[in-house]
Amino acid sequence: MDLARLSNTDNYLGLITVCEYDSAVGAPGGQVWEAGRDLRPRFTIRGINGAMDAQVLSNGRILVAENSANRITERDPSGAIKWEYRVPGNPIRVQRLPNGNTFIAMYNSVMEITPDQKILYNVNRGPTFYIFSAGKLRNGNVVAMTAQGMIMEFDPFTNKDVKTPVNIGPAGGWCSVEALPNGNYLVATMNNSMVREIDPAGKTLLTINYGGVFRATRLPNGNMLVASMTTRGVAEFDRAGTKRWEKICQGRPWSVRYR
């Protein structure tokens, strides 16, 4: 047994974090909640102004991108704000990095700040690109997907592509991209209700259909966790396209994570 290899893989708690942009039950704002595979909530934070993304941190706090409030907040499970950063735009994605920095994606740009809120970069990909999904990779690059159906992987410090952009089309509608360990991309596109695994050349290797899907993430067992704003559903599918379970949210789920 090579004990050194134990640090090369992620450890998971089996918890699902869902960020709902709004509420269908009359409560103000959106909410963030987390549950186990039994779907029983461990915590729920309500009254968040346009919640678009949320990440539970190792210290138990919850990092939230509040799109309608133009800010990033770090909250305890009761909802109390412990840290806040005002964003020069509408945040759609937030990510606490291993070095303690915070990556933030907005409709037209991506940025990274230090714990003391010093800006390391704030790059704009140009007026022809409208970012709907972005994340920073372990190698330091950023992968993003635009409303135009373009997948880009670029160096945020130089703002230059490190891979040839892939146009998967058709354009329009909310969408997301996740870079997979095998070099492929997991893509969800709302306009055709499809989750696809595609290679760097844009060839489709796997397709799953789920009405209105626009967020997808690959689970450790190879299944996919997906979210739809049109049906308000969060569901898990295996690679054969079989739905293992589904939960209908109170509001529109805008992001779903597994940890």
Residue-wise pLDDT for 239-253, tens only, equals 999 999 999 999 999
pLDDT in tens, 43-98: 999 999 999 999 999 999 999 999 999 999 999 999 999 999 999 999 999 999 99
Looking at residue 73, its pLDDT comes to 98
3-state secondary structure of 174: coil
**Residue owning tokens 């020069």:** 88
* Beta-bridge mates of residue 160: 155
pLDDT band at 127 (very low <50, low <70, confident <90, very high): confident
Superfamily in which the 13-258 domain is placed by CATH = TolB, C-terminal domain (2.120.10.30)
Tokens read off for 217: 């993430």
pLDDT, position 83: 97
Is the pLDDT score of 234 beyond 90? yes
User: So what's the pLDDT on residue 28?
Assistant: 67
Percentage helix, strand, coil for the chain under 3-state DSSP, each rounded to 5: 5, 50, 45
> Is the per-residue pLDDT at 183 higher than 90?
yes
Question: What is the predicted pLDDT for the residue at 76?
Answer: 97
Q: What is the pLDDT of residue 25?
A: 60
Q: Provide, rounded to the nearest whole percent, the portion of the chain with pLDDT above 90.
A: 85
Per the confidence metrics, is the pTM higher than 0.85?
yes
Compute and round to an integer the Cα radius of gyration of the chain: 17
**Per-residue pLDDT at 169 exceeds 70:** yes
Could you read off the pLDDT of 114-126 as tens digits, one per residue? 999 999 999 998 8
Q: Which residues contact 18 (CB under 8 A, 6 or more apart)?
A: 32, 33, 34, 35, 227, 234, 249, 253, 255, 256
